[in-house]
Structures are given as C-alpha cells and as structure tokens.
Chains A and B, each alone.
Chain A
Amino acid sequence: MTIEVVSGQKVILTKSLDSASRFTFKMEVKNKFKGLFDIDLFAINVDKNAMINKEDIVYYNNVKDRQKSIIYSETYDYELFEKKINLDVKLLSETTDKVIMISTLYKSLAEIDKDKYIEFTFSARDRTTSSIVFKLSDKISISEKKETLVLGEVYKYKDTWRFNTVNNYSDENLLGVLRNIYNTQIY
C-alpha cells in the first residue's frame, strides 16, 4: 500500500543492507503553462563533512554523479511533465551523508495567470518490486515568490536507508538553501 507522506514523516526505503537498493524518485507536474513554468528536480549528494562536489549535483544539465549512483531523466508531454531520479543506494560512496532532493521553480510571472495553483506529486518507487514506497501530493501557488522546494533527504540510519520528508518552500534560491539551511559548501 502506498504511503501518503507529510512533512516530517520518515519512510524506510531499505530494511537491511541486503535489501533491494534501486529506487526511482519521480516529480510529476501538470504541463499547464508550457515554456512559462517549470519545476526542476535536483538530487545533491552531500558528504559527511557537509561538502558537495559540483559533479555530484545531479539535474537536467548534469545527468549523473561521479559514482553513477544517481541518474537523472526528464520528459515533457502535452499534459504532464516528469523529472526522474534513479538512485541506487548501494552505489553511493561511503562518504555520503545524505542525498537531498530539491526542486527549483521557474516562473515567467508576467505572462501567466498569477492566481493559479499547480498540482504536483513526488513519489518513490522500488525498482526491484515495482511498488510505490511513498507519495507526496501538494500544490504550488504561482503567485508566491518562492524559489525552491526542499522535498526531502535520503539518508542512512544504522543498516537502513530512509527518506525524511521535508516539503518546505523557501524564497532563497538553490544555493541559498544549500548554504544557509544545510550549511554545506560546494567545491
């Protein structure tokens, strides 16, 4: 059964070190304002010293990290666009502390209706069992000046990998969130 998550909720992705390790995180958004609105999905590998190698920031321009543990893809269809992150937690480096999932919002505000909301879903699927592990459904206000949406973090706790749901908007851009909320440095 799919778990509908809310902010602060933690979900166990792998029950032990031998569990299936491959997951697909998917952001699905209605393609209402073609070319004028977009949500980008970033998966950012943060090491135990809170450092981020820029090659480990995976998104539309850099579609894989150095370990090839995080792979990005996207499709834009007429009705929906979707951004996917394939993550294999077994391939993550020993130095990985967490993988942060962040969306950035692009709005060409002058040209779109300011009072609209756009619905999105963010979900994780276990690629071995093909089952949905969790789903987050929400809507984004087009009128608010929000730049970034922190979706959550994949992290290791003892022998399990877990997802911590954040679902929190920020009016800082991606770099501001990484510096000021996560206290990380990019090199």
Chain B
Amino acid sequence: MSKRKLVVFIPLLVFLLLVGFFGVGLYLDPRELPSELAKHQRPVPDFTLPSVTDPSRIVTQDDLKGEVSLLNVWATWCPTCKEEHDFLNILALEQGVRIFGINYKDDPVKAREWLRRYKDPYQLVILDESGKLGLDMGVYGAPETYVLDAEGRIRYRHVGAVDANVWHKLQQVMASVEQEQQSGEGL
C-alpha cells in the first residue's frame, strides 16, 4: 500500500525535474554553437591564401603564431561587422591588441575599399573568397572572433559583434591563455 503511495508522486517529481531544466533553458540560446575546434584546442587549419591589402603576399597559418591574438571573421555584406568595426579599431589602434582578419566570402575590391574608408585594425587580412577556410574553421555566421594562442591554436570563439562586454570576456580568455603559456614555459 505504501509503495503505491510513493509511486503516485512520480509524475509530479518528473514534472518538477523538467521544470528545472526548462527554467535553465529559458536563459540559454539554443542556436548558439560553441566552436568545436576551440573545444579540442585545435590549431587553425592549414591554408595558403593571399592577403586582401597586399594581393602579392601569401599568408599561411604560421603567420598567425607568435603571441596570443584575435582572429576576426568579417565581410562587407555583413551589417553587424560594420557595427563592431569601430570598436575593433579602438582595440587595435589605441590599445595595441593584435587582430588578424579573415575576409569571408567577399569581393576583395570592396573589402579593400571598406578598409580604406573605415580604417584597418588588422595585422593581416586573409582573403577567403571561397569560404573554404571559414568552413574548415566551423564558421557559421559573420562576424565571429576567435582567440588564438601563441602556437596558433584556437581557444575560444565569440559569434556576433564585439563590444565592451564581449571584449571583457575575450580579455579574460586571452589572459588565462597567456598565463598557461607562461607557466608552461617556466617548467
């Protein structure tokens, strides 16, 4: 008899468990995808592509190594990229943050004109006209900003425009990556 008494509470308990999940779920974004490459700390995929600003120059993944930096995926057809561009300018030109760019599925002529008009915060801008590099990195929606470590491994990705809040988070990631590297070197 008492077993039955407990069994009848099961639906209620299962329901409350579900409510717990739903409550948490309300504040999650089901469409946000963390970077698979970042999850496994994979290096930037090998590539050989020209630079946007200097078409005779060929860029490879090795050019991105050396220190902790940002890699920003953008395009002239992407309005949000325009929104974040001013902030990137501040970061790069005033604060000296090392930012690389990937011009994703875009027209290099338009891209050059854009950078000329709105300033160029990038150390290098990689011309990924076909989108193949983006695909190999798991890009799904411009703008995206990646944190790279000194060995050119992807450590974190943010999808969407970079603003002060996002920069704060990126800074934290970059700092912890730096620290890890230094303690590794000290060993």
A, B assembled together: no
